[in-house]
Amino acid sequence: MDKRTLLWYMTFWGFAMNYMLRLNINIAIVSMIKHPAKNSNVTVVSECLRDIKLTEFNDTRGNTFPLELDAEDDKFDWDETKQSTVLSSFFSLHMIMQIPGGILAQRYGAKNVVGISNGLAAILSFAIPLSAKIDYKVLAAIRLIQGFTSGAVWPAMHTMTAKWIPVHERSRFVSAYLGSSIGAAVTYIMCGYVIAMFGWESVFHLTGVLGLLWYICWTILIYESPAEHPTIGHKERVYIENSIGKTVKMQSKLLPIPWKSMLTSRPLLINALTQNGGVWGLLTLATQSPTYFNFVLGLNIKKTGLWSGMPYIARWLFAFGFGMFSDFLIKSKKLTITNVRKLATILCNICQGLFILGICFCGCNSTAAIIMVTLATAVNGSVSSGPLAGVVDLAPNYAGVIQGIVGTITVFCTFFSPILVGMFTLHQQTLGQWNKVFFLTSGICCSTGLLYVFCGDSEIQNWNYKYDVSVSKDKEMKLIKTKSDNKTNKNINNV
């Protein structure tokens, strides 16, 4: 097995763990809180459940829902506002580490930053059950710290991708980032059954153990760059370094960061807005679908976990398949890099938004709603061939820092998604209120996708070479030669 393939597998597992630790609370909270149907001060759960007696659920819908309402002594009486505080707290400081994560990866190595970030988040997972029993604010504080420690993973990994992966392999390799989708799927499906058998506390113990196991393997098997790997084959190392060429500064010296050029770069800002739109849609579904399936459509905890998780398997399969297709289009030069990224964006933003809009027309048809959620989540997988890969295209020397900037904007905006959902559905778990959530989400996805299609760019930017002396000298010599040739031609014409 070549080392790029090994890196792909470990990256895949790492992002899966990153999302397991991020999303485990979303499925667990369904069993952590007292069901709203038992609170006389709350509006009836939804139109879907209004005319069905709780004692008839098991026969009419194949659920064990009423049995789950019996034992609620160990559950918490948190309303939608408190729940949204717990769900959104992860992202409160998550955004702070986005830019520093890229800078730290350049200075101390992406391997160390990615490993330590995921490792600390895994350790904190063990503290969640106790903190929840103390107070929801203590739980929110633990989640806040957990989000802070894991915030550096995405930007730091872009630094390693730029060092290891040639441009015509990036779409396929970046599909490893969508190990996050498999992490989400495994979290929801596995945790639904684990909760049913062992209770909600076991979820956080299990994901913590898996996270620590990944950290040990990552530390032993992964190296910062091909040049530092002690067992890489000579042929593979030469291939990587020749393929990447001068677009990435391979020396260990830290390059100064052209902040002004970055922050005023039109392609970068458009990329940031596009990623934000797609992630808003994805995380709204990821965070809220368990609550929607359970409280509105009436699915039990096992089915809630299953149908909340399955869409993410579809997302990763779509990402990997479309990634191979995108790499083929780039390598065969059938489309430019920019046009490939735009094609992917049509799927990951615009099509996702249209499928989310479709949920509004499903009503109480749980099968149709599940299909729409699955399709919306699946097509978002093309983000690995679209704006996500486009970050590395713009400036490989600063890929980690750029993704940090993009991630800061994205996390800042998605922090508000659970809060808005809490505002829309406070004491109103109805189809009408949830449709408002889906209409807003669809509009954000589609508008940002159209922005990239008409205005986006994925060509390498001049400021990628701003402080690269060797490349700058080459450009200077070419400029001098061009001016000299023009002067000579002018003199000949005058004669």
Q: Which two tokens stand for residue 124?
A: 């904190």
Rounded Cα gap, residues 100 and 120, in angstroms: 17
Q: Which two tokens stand for residue 113?
A: 């930053």
Which of 332-336, 447-451, 479-483 holds the top average pLDDT? 447-451
Q: Which two tokens stand for residue 264?
A: 């005023």
Q: Cα dihedral sign for 359, 361, 362, 363?
A: positive
Contact 376, 356 (CB under 8 A): yes
For the chain, the straight-line distance linking the first and the last C-alpha, in angstroms and rounded, comes to 65
Closest to 32 (Cα-Cα) out of 123, 136, 121: 136
What pLDDT digit, counting tens, does each position of 216-242 carry? 999 999 988 888 888 888 888 888 888
Look at residue 375 and tell me whether its pLDDT is greater than 90.
yes
Rounded Cα gap, residues 67 and 486, in angstroms: 85
Burial state string for 243-264 with b = 16 or more CB within 10 A and e = fewer than 16:
ebeebbbeeeeebebbeebbee
Rounded Cα gap, residues 300 and 54, in angstroms: 12
Q: Which residue has the tokens 């996500």?
A: 388
Rounded Cα gap, residues 411 and 79, in angstroms: 24
Question: What's the pTM value of the predicted model, to 2 decimals?
Answer: 0.66
| Secondary structure (3-state) at 33 | strand
What pLDDT digit, counting tens, does each position of 406-419 carry? 777 776 666 677 77
The alpha carbon of residue 171 and the mean position of all alpha carbons in its chain are separated, in whole angstroms, by 15
Look at residue 96 and tell me whether its pLDDT is greater than 50.
yes
pLDDT band at 95 (very low <50, low <70, confident <90, very high): confident
Contacts of 474 (CB under 8 A, 6+ apart): 246
Class of domain 3-41+75-249+258-460: mainly alpha
CB atoms within 10 A of CB 180: 27
Angle at 20 between CA 14 and CA 24, to 5 degrees: 165
Which helix (H) or strand (E) covers residue 311, if one does?
A: helix 301-331
Q: What does each C-alpha distance from 345 to 58, 98, 180, 327, 352 come to in angstroms?
A: 43, 22, 19, 15, 10
Look at residue 351 and tell me whether its pLDDT is greater than 60.
yes
Q: Which two tokens stand for residue 17?
A: 């763990």
Rounded Cα gap, residues 161 and 11, in angstroms: 10
Which of 196-210, 279-293, 442-456 holds the top average pLDDT? 442-456
What pLDDT digit, counting tens, does each position of 191-208 carry? 778 888 888 888 899 989
